[in-house]
Amino acid sequence: MTAPEEVPNDERLVSAALAGDDEAFGELVRRYKRKVFSIVARHAGSTHEEDDICQEIFIKVYQSLGKYRGDAPFEHWVSKIAVNACYDSLRKHNRREKEVPLEDVEFALCAPSGEEVSSNEALHILRRALAKLRPEERLVITLLNLEEKSIREVSALTGWSESNVKVRAFRARNELKKILEGDNGK
Amino acid sequence: MENDPRDAKLDMLFSAARKAEFYPPEREFGFETRVMARIRAEREGQKAFLLWEWRLIPLFVSLVILLGIWTYTSESRPAIDLSALTHIGNEEAVLTAYLTGE
């Protein structure tokens, strides 16, 4: 009977990738692609960009492997790179779609409280409303309310202080409420 | 803020959105192959650039030698026509001679 093959941990794969083993890096991509896809899908403005952003993230991970010290789990390190890449992408495009009609969004907060909104419909409404926010507001709302991160986690991922995260979250939430009510800029 | 009825509705919207499928799982298919192909392509591009860099070294060395020769030979020419200084008040001629190196 042969012994079961040992699954290499992330640190070992990182060392192997740094030594030029492409297979090891491929394994890291395989392990964390779902995590990166789920982060990017929540932040990216359009589905066309998602695959490109995910690829850019892993290329950045590959280029920065030498900087990984192993003091935090590899997953956290990759998540931080992914969140920063999403923020950069939001800032680069910074297309706050002010002219998008709000008819289907306005109902959200004005609808009777008993009315159920389907998950896909809710996501669609939120995506359209989030597109009207500033990049930093969009980032903080997505991390706190869609990814359910804590203030401390958002602070660690973005590099902003905890009080800064709180202030931005407060402003973003108020702005979002205005947008969903349909009185944004009116 | 706690009394704002809009907050409860907004939270309901977030709660519903969290259950949605953010991306179709088939998008992950072959992703690592695409990433590795891009990494290999970038690595090959860098190698090609470094090869060209080495090939250009003789060209730069010969350029430096030629510049050295040209500087050495041009130094033998008089920088200013000193005869222009003999004309008192002829500052324009001195300046032209200085600027043109004649």
Distance CA A158, CA A90 (A): 14
Look up residue A67 and give its two tokens: 């900087």
Residue A54 contacts B, CB cutoff 8 Å: yes
Min Cα–Cα distance to chain B from A1, Å: 33
How far from the centroid of its chain's Cα atoms is residue A134's Cα?
Answer: 15
Return the number of other C-beta atoms located less than 10 Å from residue A92's C-beta.
9
Residue with tokens 């108020």: A174
The model's confidence at residue A183, banded by pLDDT at 50, 70 and 90, is: very low
Return the number of other C-beta atoms located less than 10 Å from residue A133's C-beta.
21
Asked if residue B3 belongs to a domain, the reply is no
Asked if residue B85 belongs to a domain, the reply is yes
The model's confidence at residue A119, banded by pLDDT at 50, 70 and 90, is: confident
Asked if residue B42 belongs to a domain, the reply is yes
User: Residue A91 in 3-state DSSP?
Assistant: helix
Answer CATH for A10-93 from 1.25.40.850, 1.10.10.10, 1.10.1740.10, 2.102.10.10: 1.10.1740.10
Residue B47 belongs to domain spanning: 29-100
**A55: nearest CB among B10, B23, B34:** B34
How far from the centroid of its chain's Cα atoms is residue B30's Cα?
Answer: 34
The ipTM, to two decimals, is 0.72
**B22: nearest CB among A25, A41, A180:** A41
Residue of A nearest to B34 (CA): A55
pLDDT of residue A108: 53
Answer CATH for A103-181 from 1.10.1040.50, 1.10.10.10, 3.40.50.300, 3.40.50.970: 1.10.10.10
pLDDT of residue A6: 75
**What's the average model confidence in pLDDT over A55-79?**
91
Residue A173 contacts B, CB cutoff 8 Å: yes
The reply to whether residue B35 touches residue A29, judged by beta carbons under 8 angstroms, is yes
Domain residue spans of chain A: 10-93, 103-181
User: Residue A111 in 3-state DSSP?
Assistant: coil
Asked if residue B89 belongs to a domain, the reply is yes
Give tens-digit pLDDT for A147-179: 899 999 999 999 999 999 999 999 999 999 888
User: Residue A139 in 3-state DSSP?
Assistant: helix
Rounded mean pLDDT of chain B?
A: 79
Range list of H helices, A3-150: 10-18, 22-43, 47-64, 74-93, 103-110, 119-130, 135-141
Asked if residue B39 belongs to a domain, the reply is yes
**What's the average model confidence in pLDDT over B51-61?**
83
How many helices and strands (H and E) does chain B possess? 4, 0
Domain count, chain B: 1
